[in-house]
Amino acid sequence: MFEVLFQNVKDKISLTSDEEELAKTLFIPKKLKKKQYLLQQDDVCKYLTIVEKGVLRSYTVDDAGTEHILQLALEGHWVTDMYSFLSQEPAIYNIDAVEDSELLLITNRSLDELYEKIPKFERFFRLLGQKNILSLQRRLTGSLSFTAEDKYLQLTKNFPDLLNRVPQHMIASYLGITRETLSRIKKNLLKDH
Amino acid sequence: MFEVLFQNVKDKISLTSDEEELAKTLFIPKKLKKKQYLLQQDDVCKYLTIVEKGVLRSYTVDDAGTEHILQLALEGHWVTDMYSFLSQEPAIYNIDAVEDSELLLITNRSLDELYEKIPKFERFFRLLGQKNILSLQRRLTGSLSFTAEDKYLQLTKNFPDLLNRVPQHMIASYLGITRETLSRIKKNLLKDH
DNA sequence: CGCGGGTTTGATGATGCTCAAGCCCGGTGG
DNA sequence: CCACCGGGCTTGAGCATCATCAAACCCGCG
């Protein structure tokens, strides 16, 4: 159950087995079936979550009812509504499961305890944040400067695994285009092959 | 010279005056005139920078020669090409001064020293990263779901100061639209007032 | 077999881009 | 003091990309 978490942690800092045991007590295991919510808009986001198995997505829903996916989180990725989690204000994102998933959750309080008892985790989450910023910046730059087709090609190159595990209309939403447009883009790419 | 930096730091952690003195020795003051580069694409980014006075921008230039602004950094904001700074690979962003500016630079090496000698800075940069992620997420969500006009309104609400200090064509670039479109949007908003 | 989720296709239209020209204003030099 | 220049902003006409709406299709599953 904790393999993915600790693999993730050990990439960045090293832990004694005591520390590992302590850390384990602070996370709450949880399973989610496909389409079940982990968080709904307007609720307060109580947890920071790492995906041990499966896929989660975080997304907003606009006035027209269209979903806009901020994040698609495979194994080893962390998800939360950061603003709501930190401020305890209502969330603006929804989070649900794209596949049946296994998760580890940690509350704000437990996270503080983790920082206090194992200060190395300050470093861990600093480094995790850095990686996160990097990928957000890349995505934003892409969304400012690329055409729909280029954005799709970028994605196939960087995250080919997403394409197999996530329905195409969610890929479209993640890219900020409609399902129809993505369908036509793929058709075009085959043609020019 | 160091006021903005330490204000920024003290919002998140507290420092003894010894620590403050030590930290001061690790930053390099630098002035930049309007339009001067701090970093050019393909060079290696040696510094993490905080703006003490003035405005910097980081941006890419596409094949057609069009600029796409990732960040507009006023006083108290941090700028770098994160990927290049961390990996020492060539940068993909340019950074230059929008106004005459005063900066504090820190190298990767000095930053490591800072973490080592004052571990509280792990926490500081973790918290700074969090704030950064928040604003990147908000901007990305906006760029996925908003029209050009909504993006502009969002900006006027959240960062009204930018509008006075940054030429309009840079605002457009930051929003991911053309100068012409922004001009027409403003005209429209006046009409409907 | 029929249903539901997901994808595809076509016709039409809006949003925002491109290109080209003109305007406004502050600064510089004759 | 005026003329000119340049940077930035505006305006217009035409066009491309992508969205919308509606319908059909595909396929795995109860």
Query: Alpha-carbon distance B92 to B79, whole Å?
Result: 14
Q: Given this model, what pLDDT does residue A191 score?
A: 75
Q: Compute the distance between CA of residue B183 and CA of residue B148 in angstroms, rounded to an integer.
A: 11
The domain ranges of chain B are: 3-119
Among the partner-chain residues B86, B123, B137, the one whose CB lies closest to the CB of A122 is B123
Distances in Å between the alpha carbon of B187 and those of A31, A64, A80, B158? 52, 26, 39, 20
How far is the C-alpha of A113 from the C-alpha of A122, rounded, in Å?
11
Local confidence pLDDT in tens for the 193 residues of chain B: 899 999 999 999 999 999 999 999 999 999 999 999 999 999 999 999 999 999 999 999 998 899 999 999 999 999 999 999 999 999 999 999 999 999 999 999 999 999 999 999 999 999 999 999 999 999 999 999 999 999 999 999 999 999 999 999 999 999 999 999 999 999 999 876 6
Helix (H, G, I), strand (E, B) or coil at B51: strand
Output the distance from A111 CA to C26 C1' rounded to whole Å: 57
Class of A3-120 in CATH: mainly beta
Helix, strand, coil proportions of chain A in percent (round to 5)?
50, 20, 25
Which residues are in reach of strand D, CB within 7 A?
A 64, 66, 147-149, 176-178, 180-181; B 167-169, 179-180, 182-184, 186-187
Q: Which CATH architecture has domain B3-119?
A: Sandwich (2.60)
Distance CA B156, CA B162 (A): 8
How far apart CA A135 and CA B82 sit, in angstroms, is 10
CA dihedral sign of residues B1, B7, B12, B16: positive
The distance (Å) linking the CA of B155 with the C1' of D16 is: 27
Distance of B139 CA from D7 C1′ (whole Å): 29
Of B66, B143, B145, the CB nearest to A140: B143
